[in-house]
Amino acid sequence: MAYKKEHWGNMPDGKEICLYTLSNENGASASFTDLGAVWVTMNVPDRDGKGTDVVLGFDSAEEYLINPPHFGAPIGRNSNRIGGAAFSLNGKEYKLEANNGSSNLHSAPDLYHRRLWEGQAEETDLGVRVSFSLASPDKDQGYPGNADITITYTLTPDDSLVISYHMVCDADTVANFTNHSYFNLDGQDGGWAMKQRVWIDADTFTRTDEGLVPTGEFVPVKGTPMDFTVMKTIERDIDQDYEDLSIGAGYDHNWVLNHEPGELALSAAAESDKTGIRMEVYTDLPGIQFYTANAMKPGIVGKGKTLYEKRGSYCFETQNFPDAVNKPEFPCPFLKAGEEYQTTTIYKFSKV
């Protein structure tokens, strides 16, 4: 197990941007930058032992300063959508910016992944890791309280990438983080990803309105194109005549995971026949947004001058449910002053 830190560019104000690369004895490696605490690469051996980078992204720090698709980005204080771009907490209404129709999406526009975080890498008994810390002031993004945030990435000897999120705030606030990495197990330059197979441990999903904000209705997946309880290719049902798929132009929905609240459990998996790579997703969070890059805009040039395409990747965004701030029937997304927000998601790589 080893790590290295290298210069990777400069912020507009001249501050240095660094790239941290973690590696293990199996030949797996992962890199991250203190610009946004972003996950930049994930190189894992395919069935022939060839290293394959399975996360989409860019070659330079300057491109991550823009990064409209949120490649590799941690999203907070609240991931996904807040309907009406507003919520009430302790009798006070908080207004956010409506950047996605009438909703707020991913706490934009003051995104955490365009800020410089403080990084620290070290070797531990569990693997080699890098931690990124950020102080988020009161009213940042529109949320109450001064928050101290730490995101830790650990590469383990068994080719797992463990993401731990921690936050403490001096006022009651919202805490709902995720990571927005786009995966293609054929490789980040592998093109169309919809022939890859996916399984999700969820018997229901949260139905949405036309703006992809949950209505509060839990819909059984059985007998619908939303059923991933048996592994299937993504392309099999993605273009079915089904209202929720039409609204999202493909999969862009929150699945209600079957595990007990707070239990770190296997929740999703994906496989590639081309490379023989399998990825398992473990989380202690109640939901997962499976998104098939339906809105990927043409002309985005990624690593190695790869032209990224619509449905050329997919995201497994572990999370609390979208718009939970306005849905008391959903798991509570609020963090009380002085209490700790702590959650873990694991992406484990192996062979089919």
The catalytically annotated residue of 70, 106, 180, 253 is 180
Q: Taking the CB of residue 88, how many other CB atoms lie within 10 A of it?
A: 10
Asked whether the beta carbons of 335 and 175 are under 8 A apart, the reply is yes
Rounded Cα distance between 89 and 334, Å, is 8
**What is the chain's length?**
352
φ, ψ for residue 288 (rounded to 5)? -145, 130
Q: For residue 171, how many C-alpha atoms fall within 13 Å in the half-sphere facing its CB?
A: 13
Residue 317 catalytic? yes
Asked whether the beta carbons of 141 and 323 are under 8 A apart, the reply is no
Asked whether the beta carbons of 145 and 169 are under 8 A apart, the reply is yes
Helices (H), the chain: 61-64, 243-248
Residue 253 catalytic? no
The catalytically annotated residue of 317, 329, 339, 340 is 317
Residue 345's beta-bridge partner residues? 163, 283
Locate 137 and state its tokens.
Answer: 């002031």
Burial class (CB in 10 A: 0-12, 13-18, 19+), 7: exposed
φ, ψ for residue 169 (rounded to 5)? -135, 150
Kindly list the catalytic residues.
Answer: 180, 317
